[in-house]
Chains A and B, each alone.
Chain A
Amino acid sequence: AQTVTQSQPEMSVQEAETVTLSCTYDTSESDYYLFWYKQPPSRQMILVIRQEAYKQQNATENRFSVNFQKAAKSFSLKISDSQLGDAAMYFCAYRSRTGANSKLTFGKGITLSVRP
């Protein structure tokens, strides 16, 4: 079974600074997806960024980028130029690429606060 580990329960960053959220995972599969989701106080889970394991290039979405290290099974999220609206819970998640098993496996999440 796949597992996703987020070892830091909380982090804090100064507005306009950069922060990196860590995630490791364990799997025996070679083809899969990795995700970062954001959950603000409204509770709506929002997809931040997605990485396909067969792609070597790290995914980027505006101020959000990942450092995907497949051999190390590491998938960290970097938020640049942090904004007050980035304050939320962030979840790392894994999904197998095979269609019959499309469930997401989540980490425990990390609470990010942004200091003005």
Chain B
Amino acid sequence: DVKVTQSSRYLVKRTGEKVFLECVQDMDHENMFWYRQDPGLGLRLIYFSYDVKMKEKGDIPEGYSVSREKKERFSLILESASTNQTSMYLCASKPGGNYGYTFGSGTRLTVV
């Protein structure tokens, strides 16, 4: 089975800190995605990548950046964490073509 692993299940950071959320997939998928999940808002796309070093903004990229130096790893970066970035972050990957997504188990980030 394809695995998408998010490095932390829970994370607590201070306002202003630089935060890295890591996501690794083990099946050579081309596409990787970062979503943010908030109650009453569903999942919203922050950034996605369809190849190494390629990135595209999603619907809510403000305050975030991403890095994809290797195919298996897609990092979400909060340059200066703020309390309104307290949320659940979900990573997903997908091969090229008409195949399904595989999601990680999420990182619940609290910014205090």
Contact = CB atoms under 8 A, between A and B. Distances in A.
Interface in A92-116: 97, 99-100, 102-109
Interface string B53-96: 00000100000000000000000000000000000101010101
Interface string A57-92: 000000000000000000000000000000000010
Given A102-B31, A104-B45, A104-B101, 19 more contacts: A9-B40, A42-B105, A43-B105, A44-B103, A44-B105, A45-B90, A45-B101, A45-B103, A47-B100, A91-B43, A97-B98, A99-B96, A100-B50, A103-B48, A104-B33, A104-B43, A106-B42, A108-B41, A109-B42
Interface of A: 4, 6, 9, 33, 42-45, 47, 50, 91, 97, 99-100, 102-109
Interface of B: 31, 33, 35, 40-45, 48, 50, 58, 88, 90, 92, 94, 96-98, 100-101, 103, 105-106
